[in-house]
Structure 1
Amino acid sequence: MPVGFLIVYSEPGELVTVDEYQDWYNNEHVPLRMNHLESFQTGARYSALDSQIPSWVALYDVDDTQTFSDESYTRLRANRSPREANLVKRLSILDRQTCELVLDSGTSPLTTSLASKNPSRGLITHGLGNQEEPAKEWFDAVSVMLKDNRGWVRTRLFKCIDNLKTGVSIPPVPEAQVVPMFFALHEFTSAEMAMDPFVTDILSTSTVVSFSNLRKWGLYRAYPGIAQNNLTGSVD
């Protein structure tokens, strides 16, 4: 099975305080995955650098897309605690996308990517439309150009295989559930590198893809986990 990836955009909104949201995410939601499931190899959360909404994103490297249908994982959603069930109903946005890896520029000695030891501190995410071959063509060209930029760590291309948007601000219409089938994740050693206009210019120059929803993120916390064998602490 392909390598899996989970990305979840979220926004607390007016019905959930930031303190309540952070306590739930840090002390219940993430530990249930990272502390117990070896299939969740990394987990990290980032906050928006660009003042757009949603203002938070969580990302997880997953060993295999089969994990998404395995009972060890599906039971976490089916058997939510009363606290989590209540909080999720009040969130403004919860945009969950399960994905498979298509292409990867490779790991780098500069950081450990999304792992808790020396994680990448800046990210850029954006959509690449619904056509696989143009997305791959874009990836090949952009990866070459980014390699010349100090502070670039890694670029990956993913295919969304399932998604669900919920939240009190999500309208109950089919159009609200539409997301690009393909998207890219770029990692940098610092938030400043992710904010560099020159990098944005490189990413958006191609005309072969439907480029959309470019977002810039700074590290909030990278979590230890059973798969990393380092459950004693985290990096933020």
Structure 2
Amino acid sequence: MPDTGLLFVYGELGPDVTEEEFNDWYDNEHAPARLTVPGFTNAIRYKATDGVAPSWLSIYDLTTSAIVNDKPYQTLATNPTLRDRDIVPRLLRLNRRAYDLVQSLSKPDLDASTLPGKFLLLVSWLIQPELEDEFNKWYEEEHLAEIAKVPGFQRGRRYKLINSVELTHKPDPATAKPTHNYVVLYDVESDAFNQEPTFATAIQTPWTVKMIKTAKELKIRRFALHKNMERPL
């Protein structure tokens, strides 16, 4: 049965944590600890290539998003290690989100060993409730299939937000922005995927132009694979 949940974590170091310290903690302690939780399939880490913050992204495929509410994960999350307690407050940002899978499409005859892709194109949307039905219809009937025609496409997965928590501090309600309620993860072969002519064609259809104009917010981010950690057998 395919994984239907996603744990998504944005990180930004700030001036008080070095990249070496952050990666040592995340690669050797933080992510491996989560892979001991039943239902966590992997931990995949990326670094931004577009020069935009947040600079780091971690995603964990989950058998179901309900795992984040189960006792094994909650016990881990509410009992931080000494390094967790030291590093997390010094980070500029550590934002954790849970998502449910709503749509997935892979390149025909894709070799599973090529996943995750060397690069990730991340498209995040803030969609008003009254537009969600059309948004979902557009992706399912047109848009994802059009993006799949772009050279270098491997897999596209679309998710809907369940919850979002900022772990470094309590956000100010007066200044906090709403979290994007849909994200699309594209495993791709090139960091220039969204510069392909066929990508430009795919985002210029009448329906696509309409959805982009009516969305409350849209962001496109680019990342390169940093490390892929599979759950121990």
The TM-score with structure 1 as length reference comes to: 0.83
- Structure 1 position 109, deviation (Å): 4.1
Letter in 2 for 1:122: F
Q: Which of the numbers 217, 223, 226 marks the counterpart of 2:223?
A: 217
Q: 1:133 to 1:47 in 2, by over 3 A?
A: same
Instruction: Assess if the C-alpha contact under 8 Å between 2:115 and 2:187 holds in 1.
Output: no
Separation (CA, whole Å) in 1 of partners of 2:197 and 2:135: 22
Identity of aligned residues (%): 26
Equivalent in the alignment of 2:67: 67
C-alpha distance after superposition, 1:101-140 (max 9, x if no partner)? 111124754353xx8x652111111222234313313322
Equivalent in the alignment of 2:18: 17
Letter in 2 for 1:76: L
**Which residues of structure 2 form unaligned runs of 5+?**
none
Letter in 2 for 1:99: Y
Q: Which of the numbers 110, 124, 129 marks the counterpart of 1:127?
A: 124
- Structure 1 position 159, deviation (Å): 0.8
The 3-state SS of whatever aligns with 1:40 is coil
Q: 1:200 to 1:79 in 2, by over 3 A?
A: farther
The TM-score with structure 2 as length reference comes to: 0.84
**Which residues of structure 1 form unaligned runs of 5+?**
230-236
- Structure 1 position 174, deviation (Å): 4.9
List aligned pairs for 1:1-236, cutoff 5 A.
3-34=4-35, 36-106=36-106, 109-112=109-112, 118-130=115-127, 131=129, 132-140=132-140, 141-167=142-168, 172-176=172-176, 178-193=178-193, 196=196, 199=199, 202-203=202-203, 205-209=208-212, 210=215, 211-226=217-232, 229=233
Mean Cα displacement is larger for which, 64-73 or 101-110?
101-110
Q: 1:223 to 1:108 in 2, by over 3 A?
A: farther
Separation (CA, whole Å) in 1 of partners of 2:99 and 2:175: 20
- Structure 1 position 225, deviation (Å): 1.4
Letter in 2 for 1:158: Y
* CA-based RMSD: 2.5
- Structure 1 position 189, deviation (Å): 2.4
Separation (CA, whole Å) in 1 of partners of 2:53 and 2:62: 26
